[in-house]
Structure 1
């Protein structure tokens, strides 16, 4: 099948199959999988124009709601954290889209930029994992996460419902919530600033911003992946809607360049991602948090290395 905006020809079954496989695993960590689909499109499909970023965000719009719905049904959506992610990343996404079109239209420059961002997050997560539990006095030790996963499995076997997240306090300065026996306390303004910076990167990269937020929440703030996944995915969805609208809006100002998304290609990726994310959200509670974090770290480092090699 020929996709005119992307200017590529690919079998119609390839995009949904690839998106399904990627999203199944990445959605467990609150990551849509868009950051892996981007190098696939650029390296394997030869789709290198700036519109690939917008097409990636179309994938997010179609695929993410199924995973978010599952987390909502299980009471694992930390809604205050979700709103912080959305409010913080939205302005950054618009700024990132401008940077992508104005200063990073060249594929090689873009790949090197993306590699630096992904490598930093991957190295940070790997270092924290190798350092072991208790680093920086974090309450959420790895053994706690392992026990939490075991609780999920036992409760499912007993036919009991999963205990929902309990928000204890949400003010302009602090967000405090409890998940099972552990209480988590983060700075509202600090998270908002982090989300703004991540939103810029996400806007450039075409992943909405929430996908990069999830590894930051897990590795830097020490929040449990079981509670941040839904918030990160929801944030990615909302910012992706804004990103796609913005790319479509500025297309008339760039008549010699494809900026708006390839809707048909993005839809095919999204349909596969929809099924993958729902199944990934269903299976997340059966996988230990440490295993999910290692998976995210390996994926990030592999993708960064792939970008560097293809850009040189």
Structure 2
């Protein structure tokens, strides 16, 4: 089947199948899977136009509600954290989309940028797993401090102020700086706007490694943030399109929706299965895939 905006031809069943497989695993870590879907589109489908970023965000819009709904239904959604991520990320998304179209339209330069982003994320995750920081209760952020049975717990005693966000999960109290989360979200929004991933793939590792929050309790907030910022991203790319008539900027709607439908099912079942998978296994899985993708991008750039 020919997708005219993307300028590629692929069987109609391939996009939803690939998206389902990716999203099933990545949604367990609060990540939509867009950061892996983009390399697939660029390297395997040959979709290198700037509109690939917008198409990737369209995938997020269709796919993430499945995971968000499941985490909300199971009582594992930290709403103050989710809305802080959304409000912090939104301004950055617009800046990132402008940078992508204006300064990084060349596929080679974009691959180098994407490689650097993914390499940093992956190394941060590996560092937290190999040398996890100590927490106040004597457990460690990267170790399986949450017992397997505790992953069935819900989030309780959520508190919010302009200085702190706090909640209780699995018998432990977690508190983070509101300003710190907001600033991180803004920076993530810029990078996510360029890359077309909504920011979840970046902010989830930071919340786990830098802020020491449990992966089972932040996944829902990260996916909701990805959903909201992706709406803004797609709208902005679509608005920019008339100003760049000689460049493919707006998303390929049919391709993005096909990816999204597969991702919708994958995220729902991934979120449903997450509580049965140890946090440490989820982190290693994400770190391995991220570093592999970063290495491939770097190799493509330096060998081209």
Fold similarity call, TM over 0.5: yes
Secondary structure of 1:192 counterpart: helix
Looking at structure 2, the residues matched to 135 and 163 of structure 1 have their Cα atoms a distance apart, in angstroms, of: 20
Partner in structure 1 of residue 184 of structure 2: 194
Looking at structure 2, the residues matched to 290 and 164 of structure 1 have their Cα atoms a distance apart, in angstroms, of: 19
Report Cα offsets for 1:81-106 as digits up to 9, x if no partner: 00000000000000000000000000
Per the TM alignment, residue 270 of structure 1 is displaced from its structure 2 partner at its CA by: 0.5
Partner in structure 1 of residue 208 of structure 2: 218
CA contact (8 A) 2:124 2:205 kept: no
CA contact (8 A) 1:20 1:275 kept: yes
Partner in structure 2 of residue 20 of structure 1: 20
Looking at structure 2, the residues matched to 128 and 270 of structure 1 have their Cα atoms a distance apart, in angstroms, of: 31
Which sections of structure 1, spanning at least 5 residues, go unmatched? Answer: 153-161
Per the TM alignment, residue 131 of structure 1 is displaced from its structure 2 partner at its CA by: 1.4
In the TM superposition, what are the counterparts of 1:64-143 in structure 2 within 5 Å?
64-132=64-132, 134=134, 141=141, 142-143=143-144
Q: RMSD of aligned C-alpha atoms?
A: 1.4
Secondary structure of 1:197 counterpart: helix
Looking at structure 1, the residues matched to 136 and 125 of structure 2 have their Cα atoms a distance apart, in angstroms, of: 14
Per the TM alignment, residue 244 of structure 1 is displaced from its structure 2 partner at its CA by: 0.2
Whether 2:257 is the aligned partner of 1:267: answer yes
Partner in structure 1 of residue 285 of structure 2: 295
Whether 2:163 is the aligned partner of 1:173: answer yes
When normalised by structure 1's length, the TM-score is: 0.94
Per the TM alignment, residue 135 of structure 1 is displaced from its structure 2 partner at its CA by: 7.1
Partner in structure 2 of residue 156 of structure 1: none
Per the TM alignment, residue 220 of structure 1 is displaced from its structure 2 partner at its CA by: 1.1
Looking at structure 1, the residues matched to 82 and 201 of structure 2 have their Cα atoms a distance apart, in angstroms, of: 13
Per the TM alignment, residue 68 of structure 1 is displaced from its structure 2 partner at its CA by: 0.5
Per the TM alignment, residue 138 of structure 1 is displaced from its structure 2 partner at its CA by: 7.5
**Count of paired positions:** 301
Secondary structure of 2:275 counterpart: helix
Q: 1:242 aligns with which of 232, 239, 248?
A: 232
Looking at structure 1, the residues matched to 206 and 137 of structure 2 have their Cα atoms a distance apart, in angstroms, of: 17
Change (3 A) 1:163 1:151: closer
When normalised by structure 2's length, the TM-score is: 0.96
Looking at structure 1, the residues matched to 223 and 285 of structure 2 have their Cα atoms a distance apart, in angstroms, of: 17
Change (3 A) 1:27 1:128: same
Which sections of structure 2, spanning at least 5 residues, go unmatched? Answer: none
Change (3 A) 1:138 1:304: farther
Looking at structure 1, the residues matched to 234 and 183 of structure 2 have their Cα atoms a distance apart, in angstroms, of: 23
CA contact (8 A) 1:138 1:222 kept: no
Worse overlay, 293-302 or 26-35: 293-302
Secondary structure of 1:286 counterpart: coil
